[in-house]
Amino acid sequence: MIVGTASGAGKSLTCTALCRILKNRGYNVAPFKMQNMSLNSICSYEGLEMSVAQYIQSVACGKAPSVVYNPILLKPENGETYVVFEGNFIERIPAASYMTNRKKKYFDKGIQTLKKLIDENDFVIIEGAGSPAEVNLMKYDVTNMAVAKAVKADTYIVTDIDRGGSFASLVGTMEIFGDEERNLIKGFIFNKFRGIREMLNDGFDYLENRYGVKTVGVVPMIGNAIPEEDSLQSWESKTGDIDICVIKTPFISNFSDFSPLSWFNGVRYVDSAKEVRGDLIILPGSKRTADDLKWLKETGIDWALSKAKETGSFILGICGGFQILGESIIDEYESGYGEMKGLGMLPVKTIMNADKRTTNTERVIFWNNTETIVRGYEIRHGETFPTAEVDVFSSPVNDETGFRDVIVGTVAGTYLHGLFYNYEFTAQFLNYFREKKGLTMITAESNSLDREIEAFSSEVEKNLEIDELLRDH
């Protein structure tokens, strides 16, 4: 098990690297995280909802991404918790109620799943969440040391040394732990290091002398293009040759959609009307579409989008953003607001409902007189219907009855998440804007998620004492 001294310490990527390193050494490996909290979910191979981190770790293990690797997915929502268990929405309840009395039934089932994974694999790499030593939360814990204790997992603590205070954070964590937790700790890992390793030796000696626990790795700052998952991601403030602007709405979700645009070009995330401009403006997915629509109107961004369209910006809505660009949203389910007037840029209307569509999909994109087959996924409430004749932006492959994404002039809407991970299409898409600006055309990069995982894991392996980790196995 990998726990961390704080959120963002590097647990997810450390687990990803261990999954790939062990797979490459011939072991049968599976990932696991009991509970994840994120608005950035993805579709599993079963067509159910799971966390991005465990999806990536599944790929690292060479396995089909499955909800068994992430039993509980929480989505925070205006003081409430939206609970997804084993890929399906179960309930929406006050956060305090979930914290104090709803967890155990999910935890017990999750441990059964974990024990089954342990029986079926040589190794299971378990990821913790946040810090395992928050004194106000430990009695409610279902995702850190409670998991480690349930299966007697060898546990390693990761700390982000780039932030500073790593030794103090490790000491604080160990001091808060009881004897049972401390006895499970087998090593420390310092992450995101820049500098001379020898300067850390006195600290390593201190930790080993005090706790009898060795430091098993000092991992340098390693650049990578592996999608980020949670709200700790750094929102970019500058873009490249093409000015790409993503509206950072209060309930933005599935923002990993835009990572490839960052790699190819750069992206500006904005949240004020005065910043809304660019060659391409994107309205992203939303956890609460009606509330984000309301916010756009309150901030004047709706007016800024209309002005940008008039001055030549191309506007793309994805999922909730697509719904917002329509004429109306009828929402008696998600927000209870009833019928709301949309931005009116696309002749469609959306009706929200309790049923949630989660599916992997293959579609044909019609763009700039070219047809390209792309793959992605849908995670959404609501059905959208055209109110007038529209051009098709994308349609399902070999499915005459499937929903068509739409485009009208310089405004398009799609329900397809993961669109820009289709690099051939992304290059075509960006070249449309580059050609208009007289810029050199770009080509699809040979990057892939698997290749990024392999490259990152290879660097981590050089800086972790893997044989020490495997010593008792």
Cβ atoms of residues 348 and 413 within 8 Å: yes
CA–CA separation, 328 and 346 (whole Å): 10
Q: Is 319 a catalytic residue?
A: yes
Cβ atoms of residues 142 and 131 within 8 Å: no
Cβ atoms of residues 207 and 215 within 8 Å: yes
Phi, psi of 139 (to 5 degrees): -70, -15
Q: Which of 61, 245, 381, 417 is catalytic?
A: 417
Residue with tokens 């109110």: 387
DSSP codes joined into one string, 373-403: EEEEEEEEEEEEEESS--EEEEEETT-TTSP
Of 313, 317, 257, the closest CA to residue 292 belongs to 317
Estimate to the nearest angstrom the gap between the alpha carbon of 314 and the chain centroid: 26
Q: Is 245 a catalytic residue?
A: no
Q: Which of 15, 19, 43, 319 is catalytic?
A: 319
DSSP codes joined into one string, 430-447: HHHHHHHTTPPP------
CA–CA separation, 4 and 26 (whole Å): 27
Residues carrying an active site annotation: 319, 417
